[in-house]
Copies of this chain bind each other. A is one copy, B any other.
Amino acid sequence: MKMNAIMNLSAVSKQSKKAGLPPGSLIYVPGDQNDPAGGNDGEPQNIESVPVFMNPFFVILYNESGFSEKTYATVDELIRAEFSPDTLSWIHAAGLNDPEAVRKIGEKYDIDPLTLEDILSMKQRPKMEEFDNYFYTVLKHTVFDDTKKELQDNQISIVTLEKTVITFFENEADIFEPVLKRIKKDGRIRKNGTDYLTYALMDIVVDHYFFVLEEFEEWFDEVEKRMINQPEKESVGEIIHMRSELFRFNKSVWPLTNVADNWEKSGSKLIKKSTRVYFRDVQDHVVRIIESIESGRVAVTGIFDIYNSGTSKRLNETMKILTVISTIFIPLTFIVGIYGMNFNYMPELEARYGYYICLSGMFLIFMGMLLYFKKKKWF
């Protein structure tokens, strides 16, 4: 078990570097699990080991009648570009280690410095914050690494303005590919505003949690199967690890109920009444995921109880074997010891069939013992 993975503490380690800087200072705070070069946490990141800010910037412009895609090689080109007021624009920004680029985008769209700081720090909790001219939403795209049996979080920041949605990814991610396709094919998404687009993005992130639940299911089934087949080989460490990964998953998902609720309940005119019901639907899904996680905890507790009960059962069985053997043979050994004594006058020893009588007596005791343990249902 990697303790710091549980506490998310090495993330903290980067955070603590910021102590003393003025709030709103733009510094890239990387996530931990996704470090391509995992060893140098907190070291100055050399250029090859970190995700490069993904030039060119990809932008899709759309309205009810159609869509167009554009690509800008540098952030300055993006800043200079003027988008028609008749279209909605969705700007992709993947990889986030260029604070300057984020600052420039923030300036163009009048985004609060605190939001920019949050965009660059990969350690946000999922949240939704309402500003005068935009909504800021943080989501966690969670992937289950099947080899290490570990969750990996990729942070997604969504800034929803009236005519523009900007998405910032921690890593290059193709999770929003389907939404892109739907914009190209499907009229519905193009008929609606940026609130609906935000909903569509959020919906897809939430739907991916169901994949994670599936992976958990497989893992649990596998552990359970091993526990049934080779209970003595099973290690409590893996059960604890299962528990803590579930806990981490819950930590990613749980704040989403607030996020969806804030979207639904917000009084802002950015959100159309017809869109609110969709956020209610998202919340519904989140609640189902949380309930499944809760069920998973009950299941882990069950596995742990079975493990513990198996341990004491095996101890019981070990002790029974020892007790049966000892109880049968220790008295018999005493008897043969008696006739091994060297007293000058021991009449039994002289008896013609003494040896056979002695053997028969011991055999009777042996059988009696067996019957006794049989009756106690020890076999």
Contacts and interface: CB of A to CB of B under 8 A. Distances in A.
Interface residues on A, range: 35 or more
Interface string A330-343: 11111011111111
Given A19-B207, A278-B23, A316 B314 contact: yes
Contact of A312 (B200, B304, B312, B333): B312
A22 interface: yes
A214 B12 contact: yes
A151 to B, nearest CB: 13
Given A323-B322, A355-B341, A243 B302 contact: yes
A46 interface: no
A10 interface: yes
A157 to B, nearest CB: 14
A320 interface: yes
Contacts of A70: none
A22 B240 CA distance: 38
A7 B298 CA distance: 8
A221 interface: yes
Contacts of A10: 217
B341 A342 contact: yes
Given A3-B224, A12-B213, 19 more contacts: A6-B295, A7-B296, A12-B217, A13-B217, A15-B210, A16-B214, A114-B281, A125-B288, A233-B377, A241-B302, A244-B302, A314-B316, A315-B316, A318-B323, A333-B334, A340-B341, A342-B349, A344-B351, A345-B352
23 contacts: A3-B221, A3-B299, A7-B213, A7-B292, A15-B210, A16-B207, A20-B204, A23-B203, A114-B277, A125-B288, A232-B377, A233-B377, A237-B306, A241-B302, A244-B302, A307-B309, A321-B323, A333-B333, A336-B341, A339-B341, A339-B342, A340-B341, A344-B349
Instruction: List the 5 closest A-B pairs by CB distance, nearest first.
Output: A19-B207, A20-B178, A9-B217, A336-B337, A16-B210
